Amino acid sequence: GNSVTQMEGPVTLSEEAFLTINCTYTATGYPSLFWYVQYPGEGLQLLLKATKADDKGSNKGFEATYRKETTSFHLEKGSVQVSDSAVYFCALKAGGGADGLTFGKGTHLIIQP
Amino acid sequence: DAGVIQSPRHEVTEMGQEVTLRCKPISGHDYLFWYRQTMMRGLELLIYFNNNVPIDDSGMPEDRFSAKMPNASFSTLKIQPSEPRDSAVYFCASSLSSGNNSPLHFGNGTRLTVT
């Protein structure tokens, strides 16, 4: 079956540090890949996506590249801010059905000033 | 656009009581999803609807759980009777279509505590 594995948190960094949150996946076919972010007390919001191999998704300074050879979609940001503190979810969508969205367990990111 | 609206934000109830969670999707969205979030299991898809019709309820944990969508602008998730292990945050989400360019839009969730 399909699955997403994320690095466990919490991840604690200082402001302006470089961020990497690892994500690897297992899926049949050629899935689309997503990062969602959940701020405290809120629902998940789409952060970025990539729909085919070697695509790079980017938004708000975050980037992730779809690596088919390593089945990975690591999230990166060059300089984090306190406002980036949130829980980040990697997800995949395999096939055309709406039920194909599979989430990882989430990584809690804490940015200290 | 007001986004996906869920109510209540918090619900505290005693074991054995009936609980009803409510969701109003974004207008025009054809898909509606109910998810449950816990520390142990993360996000789990419970059920989803397309054009008000339940498509896949294989994620519904037990017969105590039921979901309805009587019209395009309203859905409910009911737990009867509730148990302490049902304590979680329940999210409703909607999307315009099933395509990859149609992301899920989540509500702010209902935090359920069953004592």
Average pLDDT over residues B26-49: 92
- Confidence (pLDDT) at A48: 96
Task: Kindly tell me if the per-residue pLDDT of A54 is higher than 90.
Answer: yes
Determine which of A101, A102, A103, A107 to mutate to test the interface with B (most B C-beta atoms within 10 Å).
A101
Q: Tell me what pLDDT residue A1 has.
A: 79
Selected for mutation to probe chain B from A6, A44, A92 (highest B CB count within 10 Å) is A44
Query: Taking Cα atoms as reference points, which of A37, A36, A47, A7 lies closest to residue A24?
Result: A7
Half-sphere exposure for B27 (CA within 13 Å, toward CB): 2
Q: Which residues from chain B sit within 8 angstroms of residue A101, using beta carbons?
A: 45, 104
B89-113: per-residue pLDDT in tens? 999 999 988 776 778 899 999 999 9
Instruction: For an interface test with A, give the residue of B6, B35, B37 to mutate (most A CBs within 10 A).
Output: B37
Greater model confidence, B42 or B91: B91
Residue B66 has pLDDT above 90, yes or no: yes
Q: How far is CA B73 from CA B3, B4, B45, in A?
A: 12, 10, 20
Residue with tokens 């869920």: B6
Q: Span B7-13, mean pLDDT?
A: 97
A45 to B99: CB separation less than 8 angstroms, yes or no: no
Angle at A66 between CA A95 and CA A69, to 5 degrees: 90
Size of interface A-B (CB pairs under 8 A): 51
Report the chain A residue with the minimal C-alpha distance to residue B102.
A98
Q: What is the mean pLDDT of residues B55-77?
A: 94
**Could you read off the pLDDT of A65-108 as tens digits, one per residue?**
999 999 999 999 999 999 999 999 999 987 655 565 889 999 99
Q: Are strands B19-24 and A44-50 parallel, antiparallel or unpaired?
A: unpaired
pLDDT of residue B85: 96
pLDDT, one tens digit per residue, over A5-17 is 998 889 999 999 9
**Chain B residue with minimal CA distance to A43?**
B108
Nearest 5°: CA angle at A78, between A73 and A82? 105
Closest CA to A80 of A38, A110, A44: A110
Distance from CA of B105 to the nearest CA of A (A): 7
pLDDT for residue B34 is more than 60: yes
Contact at CB, A103 and B42, closer than 8 angstroms: yes
